[in-house]
Chain A
Amino acid sequence: MATVGISNPKSRLRLLLLEEHGIGEDPTVWEMDYDGGALPGDPRHTPEKLHKWLTSKKICPCEPRKMAETDLARKMEELSRSNRELEQFAYVASHDLREPLRMVATYTQLLAERYRGKLDRNADQYMEYATDGALRMQALIQDLLELSRVGREGGKKQSIDCDAVLEEVLRDMSSSIRDSGAIIQHEKLPAVTADRCYLLQLFQNLIGNAIKFRAKAPLEISVAAEAEGKYWRFTISDNGIGIAPDCQENIFTVFQRLHARTEYPGNGIGLAICKKIVEQYGGKIWVDSKPGTGSQFKFTLPAGQPCEQGAS
């Protein structure tokens, strides 16, 4: 049983056959000239019935498979173009907004500094709000800029040893690791095909989160990797506060966070960046978590050449 969707732009008739199970998956598009005659009333037809109707009308479905492919290719092209435009927009907006915003931020600060206590109490409060707002906006724009940079600058595709990357991240974060008392274990990690800078960012964000969202119990973090076809699946586990099931998807959206900033600092950009990095290489990122028990962040990246063979 198939659903038949019908659209009729002018005299061109397009019939879309969508399999009942996989709507949206590889639709078969039949496109043909249409004489304007009446269409069968019921929008739902079996392909056989439709065929019969088409033949009775002397309409000959033209190479459905090929139509589908060109249609899909066109859609993809459209999509990637609008995607590019969005990236460009985000970059330009965040870049060009920075200057005027710097003026707002510095001058409200200057006002507050010069006139604090010289106007009335309300005025002091207002200036503080204005300064706070400007500074927050600056931080958000900085983050947006960072996010739009990933992808726009098209990361390299090199075989990178994740073991070395993780070591570097742990070294960079050594003071916050020490302060949190975290115990971090990892097995030997494989090489993947990606950009070294992006990998640093990826591990840094995930391990940074594990440290930030820790619970009372002594923090334990582990990093492991498992082969999954041509990909490696990495798992970064912690025993922190965990994430409620209904929030596990949207934390990967930009600026989505589950706590007040006073509770845990941050803007909610880290995971959005991770997602963008991973997806750029055809990978996926997701989380398995139980509130109060801990989280396991998982992501996949295409395998690189094993580092013993002298890949760089």
Chain B
Amino acid sequence: MQGAPEILVVDDNPADAVLVRESLAETSHQSHIYSVTDATEALAYLRRQRKYQMTARPDLVILDLNLVHRDGHKFLTVIKSDSGLRQIPVVVFSSSESLSDITRSYLLGANCYVSKPADLKRYFSAVRAIEEFWFGYASLPKKENDERSSCARIAD
């Protein structure tokens, strides 16, 4: 994969986004992490609307289900039925361990479901394992807008 991985974290709790950042701070992948706190903002980001016109399309989305209005599932539905976005892998990363949330996420097209561990060490290793799997082992589709994403990288 060329360039550092781009990860979009969608989580209504900024403290959780910080934890994801902390988890990946010292790994070899040097992922770029961008975080937004609600579904509307996340969609704008993915569709490069408004202030996101120059941002890179992420290689991976890490999605919390408990967004405002419990919008996580809705967001998943929207991007997995959008032909321009559905190839982006989405890892649901939620504190819910309920079987119905898990099943529903996969039905809606989530690529993977990971429950947020309550213990810090396990939290760190879960996030690192996600990064390692998607960027160390998995093969990903080519991004259609590589030009623009390299522009974005120069820009920031």
Residues of A within 8 A of B (CB): 98-99, 102-103, 105-107, 109-110, 113, 135, 138
Q: Are B15 and A113 in contact (CB under 8 A)?
A: no
In the complex, residue of chain B having the shortest beta-carbon distance to the beta carbon of A131: B120
User: A-side binding surface: helix, strand, loop or mixed?
Assistant: helix
CA gap between A103 and B119 in the complex, in Å: 10
The yes or no answer to B123 lying at the interface (CB within 8 A) is yes
Q: Which of A98, A99, A113 contacts B120 (CB 8 A)?
A: A113
Given A109-B119, A109-B121, A113-B120, 12 new contacts (CB under 8 A): A98-B95, A99-B13, A99-B66, A99-B95, A102-B116, A103-B13, A103-B15, A105-B118, A105-B119, A105-B120, A106-B123, A110-B120
Q: Are A110 and B118 in contact (CB under 8 A)?
A: no
Chain A residues near B19 (CB, 8 Å)?
106, 110
CA gap between A107 and B18 in the complex, in Å: 10
CA gap between A106 and B19 in the complex, in Å: 9
Residues of B within 8 A of A (CB): 13, 15, 19, 22, 66, 95, 116, 118-121, 123
Closest 6 CB pairs of A and B: A109-B120, A106-B120, A102-B118, A103-B15, A138-B118, A110-B120
In the complex, residue of chain A having the shortest beta-carbon distance to the beta carbon of B123: A106
CA gap between A135 and B22 in the complex, in Å: 21
CA gap between A110 and B19 in the complex, in Å: 9
Q: Are B15 and A107 in contact (CB under 8 A)?
A: yes
Q: Output the least CB separation between A281 and chain B (Å).
A: 25
Q: Are B22 and A110 in contact (CB under 8 A)?
A: yes
CA gap between A113 and B118 in the complex, in Å: 16
Chain A residues near B118 (CB, 8 Å)?
98, 102, 105-106, 138
Max chain B C-beta neighbours (<10 A), residue from A102, A109, A113: A102
CA gap between A138 and B120 in the complex, in Å: 13
CA gap between A110 and B123 in the complex, in Å: 11
CA gap between A216 and B15 in the complex, in Å: 49
Chain A residues near B121 (CB, 8 Å)?
109
CA gap between A11 and B119 in the complex, in Å: 62
Query: Could you name 24 residue pairs across A and B whose Cβ atoms are closer than 8 Å?
Result: A99-B13, A99-B66, A99-B95, A102-B95, A102-B116, A102-B118, A103-B13, A105-B118, A105-B120, A106-B19, A106-B118, A106-B119, A106-B120, A106-B123, A107-B15, A109-B119, A109-B120, A109-B121, A110-B19, A110-B22, A110-B120, A113-B120, A135-B119, A138-B118
Max chain B C-beta neighbours (<10 A), residue from A99, A106, A107: A106
Chain B residues near A135 (CB, 8 Å)?
119
CA gap between A82 and B77 in the complex, in Å: 39
In the complex, residue of chain B having the shortest beta-carbon distance to the beta carbon of A110: B120
Q: Output the least CB separation between B37 and chain A (Å).
A: 15
CA gap between A106 and B18 in the complex, in Å: 11
CA gap between A99 and B66 in the complex, in Å: 10
In the complex, residue of chain A having the shortest beta-carbon distance to the beta carbon of B66: A99
CA gap between A311 and B56 in the complex, in Å: 61
Max chain A C-beta neighbours (<10 A), residue from B19, B66, B118, B119: B118
Chain A residues near B123 (CB, 8 Å)?
106
In the complex, residue of chain A having the shortest beta-carbon distance to the beta carbon of B121: A109
CA gap between A138 and B95 in the complex, in Å: 13
Chain B residues near A107 (CB, 8 Å)?
15
Chain A residues near B116 (CB, 8 Å)?
102
CA gap between A113 and B26 in the complex, in Å: 15
Chain A residues near B95 (CB, 8 Å)?
98-99, 102
Chain B residues near A106 (CB, 8 Å)?
19, 118-120, 123
